[in-house]
Copies of this chain bind each other. A is one copy, B any other.
Amino acid sequence: MESELVIRALGALAQEHRLALFRLLVQAGPEGLAAGAIAEALGVPASSLSFHLAQLTNAGLIAQRRDGRSLIYSADYAAMNALVGFLMENCCGGAACAPTAACVVEPKDERKSA
């Protein structure tokens, strides 16, 4: 993960509604939530929410998929892990610190090629 993307990710999270939104999706798991459900949960007007969803999407923190009329958003755990890894990289010059942080989502049906 390169620094420019990291900045976009941090900037995306550095906002009341978006932080709540991202955490909501993190806790919702891979299933995700529809935009409408999110708007209701957060109490944010649809147009504002859409703006925030776009910010998070653009930062690579969440993914979007369609289900009928609904757009389902879900957290991208790999991006979250990469972000955390970037921050802690070479912590203490690599001395005593060997930080590891990862939220590993068990794949349901699909197989990763790597």
Contact = CB atoms under 8 A, between A and B. Distances in A.
A17 to B, nearest CB: 10
Q: Is the interface of A mostly helix, strand, loop or mixed?
A: helix
Interface residues of A, number: 39
Contact of A3 (B20, B26, B87, B97): B20
Nearest to A6: B19
Interface in A1-16: 3, 6-7, 10-11, 13-16
How many copies the complex holds: the figure is 2
A114 interface: no
A87 B80 contact: yes
Given A6-B19, A11-B14, A27 B99 contact: no
